[in-house]
Amino acid sequence: MKKVRKAVFPVAGLGTRFLPATKTVPKEMLTVVDRPVIQYVVDEAREAGIEHFIFVTGRNKGNIEDYFDLQFELNETLAQRGKTAQIELLQSMQPAAGTTSFTRQQEPLGLGHAVWCARDLVGDEPFALLLPDMIMRSNISCMRGMVELYEETGSNVIAVAECDPAETHKYGIVGAGEKAGAGFEITGMVEKPKPADAPSNLYINGRYILQPEIFGLLATQARGAGNEIQLTDAMLRLGDTQRLFGYHYRGETYDCGSPEGFVEANLAFALGRADLRPQIETIVRRLAG
């Protein structure tokens, strides 16, 4: 069984739910507490054993690449001023040379198309896919749990969580079959169904481990919901020849693509920090009162 070494991050989205901020700042670079959203997602991947980070970007997203580069002048200045804590913080997050790749989606044709743009960078091996709108908090990270299920099954793993049954039209929704190890067999999948047409309330929460055969299917995938090339539709076809396992994630998920989810993420992560919790609790109490 091939190890999952590479992760794809589709970061080309325009962030229209977050204007005017996203006119010039990529939504993935908006900060939750003191670091950009994309840092949390890359950390989750690294913690799960990922060695190479592939970003599918677009125009106006250049500072994502700069962010993951070594900032030589900054490091020099910090060193001259003896700021060792900051130097160590930056070092702990710095991807090693040669472990990041960037390509551009060029046209906003949907998630399926964005993933397809990474085909040559991924090559012929299974890969992780992490949608950076979603950031997560749990004891065992979502991707780590998925890698364990992949090591058990050797197939495709799609993470799901429970959503409000009235909100199925916002997500990809799966049908759940038999339990299989730590996961379950996926029996169906539909992108953004109306509640009446949804097979369950288990929504795809933005974390996937996929076999490279998905790329051939994406190349011929017809447009689906929203007139976009949908990854969900191609995964459903992948299910004709390979097994698809659901991983039921039980931790917290914050949708940073919407202002309310973003504010919630800021509060949750700030309250989760021992150094900030007391002040934040006081501030929230004062503002709410």
142-171 residues in contact with ligand G1P (CB under 6 A) are: 171
Q: Is the dihedral of CA 19, 21, 26, 28 positive or negative?
A: negative
Q: Contact with ligand G1P (CB under 6 A): which of 42, 78, 105, 133?
A: 133
Contact between 114 and ligand G1P by CB under 6 A: the answer reads no
Which CB atom, from 14 or from 89, has the smaller least distance to ligand G1P? Answer: 14
CB of 227 to ligand G1P, least distance (A): 12
> What is the nearest approach in angstroms of ligand G1P to the Cβ of residue 89?
29
Taking the complex as a whole, how short is the minimal distance between the CB of residue 166 and ligand G1P, in angstroms? 15
Q: What angle do CA 68, 69, 72 make, to 5 degrees?
A: 140
126 binds ligand G1P (CB under 6 A): no
Six token digits for residue 215 = 């790329």
Nearer to ligand G1P, 115 or 147 (CB): 115
4 binds ligand G1P (CB under 6 A): no
Residue 207: closest CA among 116, 144, 114? 144
Name the minimum Å distance from CB 10 to ligand G1P.
8
Instruction: Name which position in 32, 41, 48, 111 contacts ligand G1P (CB under 6 A).
Output: 111
Helix, strand, coil percentages (3-state) for the chain, rounded to 5, are 40, 25, 35
Binder among 134, 147, 157, 174 for ligand G1P (CB under 6 A): 134
Nearest CA to 118 out of 204, 6, 13 is that of 6
244 binds ligand G1P (CB under 6 A): no
Does residue 22 contact residue 15 with C-beta atoms inside 8 Å? yes
Is 26 one of the binding residues for ligand G1P (CB under 6 A)?
Answer: no
Query: How many C-beta atoms surround the C-beta of residue 163 within 10 A?
Result: 19
Contact call for residues 10 and 131 (beta carbons, < 8 A): yes
Assess 247 for contact with ligand G1P (CB under 6 A).
no
Could you tell me the sign of the dihedral formed by the alpha carbons of 35, 38, 40, 46, in that order?
A: negative
Distance CA 268, CA 271 (A): 5
How many of the chain's residues bind ligand G1P (CB under 6 A)? Answer: 14
Give the contacts of 139 (CB within 8 A, at least 6 positions apart): 251
The correct pick among 32, 135, 143, 204 for binding ligand G1P (CB under 6 A) is: 204
Measured distance CA(252)–CA(123) in Å, rounded: 32
Which of 4, 38, 130, 131 is close enough to bind ligand G1P by CB under 6 A?
131
Q: Is 232 in the site for ligand G1P (CB under 6 A)?
A: yes
Q: Does 203 bind ligand G1P (CB under 6 A)?
A: yes
Residue with tokens 């730590």, as numbered in its chain: 182
Q: Is 262 near ligand G1P (CB under 6 A)? A: no
Question: Which of 26, 58, 172, 224 is in the footprint of ligand G1P by CB under 6 A?
Answer: 172
The residues binding ligand G1P (CB under 6 A) are: 111, 131, 133-134, 171-172, 191, 203-206, 230-232
